[in-house]
Structure 1
Amino acid sequence: MAKRGFKVVGVSYRLHITPGVFNESLVKVADNSGAQLARVIGVLHRKTVWRRVPGA
């Protein structure tokens, strides 16, 4: 996992949720900790796809 476009200073992340067609939510999260990603996906309780956003 290459850290491209990541801010390793503190905990800075972007969260962008867009509703899908088949009750799916597209979650774009850029964070320096995997725990934050798991937390966001766990809260939604839906089929989510997380991608790293460059230049976050």
Structure 2
Amino acid sequence: MAGDQKAKGKKEQAKGKAKEVVGRAVGNERMEAEGRMEQSKGDARQAKEKTKDTFKH
């Protein structure tokens, strides 16, 4: 289960980074901001899973 959540976090980070880069390239500030938000969600999910792993071991 934790592996699924970690993978989901990585996917959100990558998708967010891509959206941010495309938004910046085409001058779409909203898309760029959405990309940063998705990256933050992915970062938060990764941090949560790392914390869980720390307390399991």
- Structure having the higher strand fraction is 1
Normalised by the shorter chain, which TM-score bucket?
under 0.3
TM-score, L = length of structure 2: 0.26
TM-score, L = length of structure 1: 0.27
- Structure having the higher helix fraction is 2
